[in-house]
Structure 1
């Protein structure tokens, strides 16, 4: 069941529309009663065929004015209810008082609150009934100019109603469009925040996983030689201290952007230019690592440069953790005009399982390295391959396309 405008709003509208209906009805009754044959004849107005006011005329007059009270709730029904008694007044030769105003108000309401087809139907009905009442009228004939003015008034009232309806529809469309844009902006902000959180999570994982793995290996080495070679153990502990400082610095720079009002230290993101330092760090941690750079280095987009560095970092970290004692690793970076090829391979044990589905190497891997690497490589349209090597060990390789020679 449809509730028109809600109970509270419908009641307020009915009250607001009732007052004009009462005013129009009252004024019509007064004019109808005062302007009888005697009064109009004394003023020189033709009264041939004009009936004296009586109860029937008053009743028809009131019936023509009452629909104004429901003009917004049932405009078309109200228009029909107003036109029929008005036509009857004309046809029976009564004076119409202000019923013409009531009919005009109802026609305006149909045009303002209903669709175009209904509004055109209301206009046609008004014109037809007015023409029929004039043709069958028993009252004194009016000049053609008066009929023309009435037709123009009907069309003008209808046009004002349509203009108001179109304006309301336009304003509603503007509000709806503004609401849609606001929802779209909110969705974009949520997507941007989610993407930023994902990016920060990847960065934190790469930093923490790498440095903690290095610190764990160095701490294990220090524990084994603590009694037999205190000097070597001290060097390992110093390396752990330096690695911890580096991890804290990188984490502080990454997390700093999350703190409102905090000023993070600004610095360039790591890239392929920092691979020698990374390889040296892995050597100090006990993983024999080599670096080969092929081709003349060219300009690389910052995002691709960072993704390549993180891929090497993740590959070496997993080799350090899972390749086993005595394993060696090699990093190969090949620069081509339209491609950057990055490869990390080791000769560690290969029978204990490969990279887990979540990025850990080994059957019980629990990291998120593979997920992060796949996201980074896919983000820049690269091709990623991870798996065991035919001769033993594992290989991580990514090829990043470089557009326009970059």
Structure 2
């Protein structure tokens, strides 16, 4: 029931500094307990008078609209207090209290690569974004971007065009709105094949101040950020800076010294970003962080490390029954997702999480959206 989300929504709607609201959740365990603790506990956690007043008397219209949005299938709210809150985002500075997700929440645990760049990208820039996006998806990575025009849209579209390709859009509006408006069809496709993510409550319109905030989430969710084309004052440079502050890899494509959309990339390269010409350079650089993410995912799924030797015909006995079922459904020949769904009877969300864990753990290989036991 979406009504169960009402306490967390009230915390989100109180606005202001994030750290006191996270501290309130950590101290009391659940949003309902945090609200029930009362004004004195809210003050002790560091909430300012305006935040406390909002908690006491939330905007009922905004709350009702958000609850109605959450009533729809495929709409989710992930709170700071929940184990499914993305681990990479939790580790960065200023993580949001919660995320709205339109689509598959497990997509936020996939190894993501952010592809960002100019809204006014050249045809060559859009081609480069699409080329790198396809290569990342074919290598088993997922692509993240900001649903903007230009480079963002090209990266999302190319990922969606691949069989079983996954892409995540982090937006600067509520999850029910699209900016720019012409990307509404793309928004819907991403929600069906990946996830659209926002920290803003449904009904929130685009504001200039929202996009640097959006960029920090995009950078934090991703293992690395690739800047394709960027001017000297591009928002993509903000994403790259925030990625570096999170300890993430930053890459940039070089361009013509005479083109203004090359200047931002060249500046990043001078400041230490990796100069890349081929997708394989990014994929290789992110192999270590992807393995680390696999360890975090195993911990989330409460799975112990297996001593299984890849290629065995027998399912490891220490695995849960669902994992044994999936292992037996796989073989040496690449198998598409729809066949695995039919063979196992698992849900798309469960199967996606399990395949990701097995892929990152080295048990299986993925090629063009098809899965097989690693030989």
Task: Flag whether TM exceeds 0.5 (same fold).
Answer: no
TM-score normalised by L of structure 2: 0.21
For CA contacts below 8 A with separation 6 or more, give which structure has more relative contact order: 2
Q: Answer 1 or 2: which has greater helix percent.
A: 1
TM-score between the two structures when normalised by the length of structure 1: 0.20
Q: Which has the larger radius of gyration?
A: 1
